Amino acid sequence: MTAEIVVMNGEAVALAADSAVTSQVGGLEKISTSANKLFAMSKYHPVGIMIYGNAEFMDIPWETLIKVYRTKRLPPKGYDRLEEYASDFILFLSNENIEFPEHAEDNYVGAFIIHVLSMILDGIRSRLTEAIQEGRDISATNIAQIVDEVIAGLYDEWRRSDDEYLTLAISRATMRRHSAKISEAISHMLGEYNLQSRQKRRIRELIVHVFSKGFSSSIETGVVVAGFGEKEFRPSVRSFVVEGLVENILKHVIDEQHSLSRDIGGGIVPFAQREMVYRFMEGVDPLYRSHEIGYLSTLCEDLAEKIVNHLSRYSDEEKFRMKQELVDYGSQLVAEFNNEISDFVSEQFSGPIVEAVSRLPKSELASLAEALVHLTSVKRKVSLESETVAEPIDVAVISKGDGFVWVNRKHYFEAELNPQFFLRQYKELLNE
């Protein structure tokens, strides 16, 4: 995981990214603090790009892809609108001229198959744990029934989903090419449950639907493009999530929720690990808010049950109807409470902060972006959680007049020992 921040107003946009990267080595988790996640998208135009999540796309590092795009694909005159940069980068990733490693698709699809089978395995284990806690008999017959119900439930859920990022035809053709890999993974991960042939067929169909309609958080990468188009005088932000490439079709989705238009006065958008930014903006952790609303809903249902149980003069049918009316009214009250709290938070907390951001100078935008990433890093450092956010923090500010400007930037080498690197960069700018 990681922490990245965009802070924007009408004059400029600041981007900040930590340096932690988590990798799995032989089943063990290793965290290093040297990852580059923030880049200039162009040497000449005021556009930047950040990535979070998977550090590679189809077994090629994102840093390599971004720098190749910058030097080989991006036209010298740039684009009129920022969204054109984002759209062109998506087309670049889909371009069949990129020579991905030979087994890139095998690795991608294999990881996705494991993701789906892990969903099934987690569901089975959760149901078994629940049965044990309730003191129910855990016989072979009951286990087989639980396995069947978990597979059927997941299949029905994903089959009904309206989302579609790859067509079912492409998804099915892809999984047909990797049929042996599916069989091997099922035997390895679910072999202890002695699955029947019909269950294995259902799992194959489930994999097809999930591959078409869902993403795997362990595979996907978030991409953030920010800055100005040539004809734009206010910055904007475009965000999308990329997972992989099959049949030269890029599996991706535009993240409208975490994009900012050039029409807003100011904004703060966190990416990846967002909880500390929400605490700063809203005065309370979103997990607390979620638990509060859930607990209030439970209280309303329990209260309805107790009220109805004290009404002895009514029939069971009348009690059921009254209980449902009370539950519905309780849900309405909880919704009104949630709306009231949201309005209060906006008025007293997030609203004034956004208003202040809209008036900040460029230097303060950078300081705020860096501070918010640092806050997340400190929280991870003093908690029992893995330090998946770590310094140093790269910070850049993009404005129409000054372009992409580094405020903080780490190098894997000492600048004074490598003057030829900067001389080469300078010559490239003069020649181009």
In the predicted model, is pLDDT for residue 428 greater than 70?
A: no
**Rounded Cα gap, residues 300 and 327, in angstroms:** 6
Write down the pLDDT at residue 182.
96
- Say whether both 35 and 184 belong to one domain: no
pLDDT > 90: percent of the chain:
63
Domain count, the chain: 3
Residue-wise pLDDT for 133-159, tens only, equals 888 888 888 888 999 999 999 999 999
At residue 33, the pLDDT reads: 76
Domain identity same for 119 and 94: no
Q: Are residues 11 and 82 in the same domain?
A: yes
Predicted confidence (pLDDT) per residue in 174-215, tens digit: 999 999 999 999 999 998 888 999 999 999 999 999 999 999
The residue out of 354, 374, 392 marking a domain boundary is 354
Q: Which amino acid is at 228?
A: F
Residues 164 and 215: beta-carbon distance below 8 Å:
no
Q: CB of 300 within 8 A of CB of 271?
A: no
Q: d(Cα 206, Cα 193) in Å, to the nearest integer?
A: 18
Q: In this prediction, what percent of the chain has a pLDDT beyond 70?
A: 94
Helices within 259-315 (DSSP H only): 275-282, 286-309
- At 310, the pLDDT band (50, 70, 90 cuts) reads confident
Above 90 in pLDDT, residue 314? no
Q: Count how many Cα atoms sit within 13 Å of the Cα of residue 286 in the half-sphere of its side chain.
A: 7
pLDDT mean over 389-398: 89
Average pLDDT over residues 410-426: 73
Task: Give yes or no: residues 194 and 235 share one domain.
Answer: no
**Counts of helices then strands in the chain (DSSP H, E):** 13, 14
> Residue 420: how many CB atoms within 10 A of its CB?
8
User: Given this model, what pLDDT does residue 387 score?
Assistant: 66
Residue 427: is its pLDDT beyond 80? no
What pTM value is reported for the model? 0.86
Domain match, 141 and 7 both = no
Asked if 368 and 277 sit in the same domain, the reply is: yes
Do 221 and 271 belong together in one domain? yes
CA separation for the pair 303, 287 (Å, rounded):
24
Residue 111: the pLDDT is 92
> Distance between CA 185 and CA 190 in Å, rounded?
8
pLDDT of residue 259: 73
At residue 432, the pLDDT reads: 56
Structural domain harbouring 408: 3-101+217-281+362-431
pLDDT in tens, 121-134: 999 999 999 888 88
Does residue 120 share a domain with residue 183?
yes
Helix (H, G, I), strand (E, B), or coil: what is residue 220?
coil
How many whole angstroms separate alpha carbon 389 and alpha carbon 353?
24
pLDDT at 216: 87
pLDDT of residue 239: 94
Range scoring the smallest mean pLDDT among 152-161, 162-171, 324-333, 416-425: 416-425
Asked whether residue 371 carries a pLDDT value surpassing 70, the answer given is yes
User: What pLDDT is stored for residue 1 in this prediction?
Assistant: 65
For residues 69-91, average pLDDT = 93
| Residue 311 confidence (pLDDT) above 90 | no
Looking at the structure, do residues 243 and 369 belong to the same domain, yes or no?
yes
Q: Are residues 261 and 379 in the same domain?
A: yes
One domain for residues 117 and 96? no
CATH assignment at residue 421: 3.60.20.10
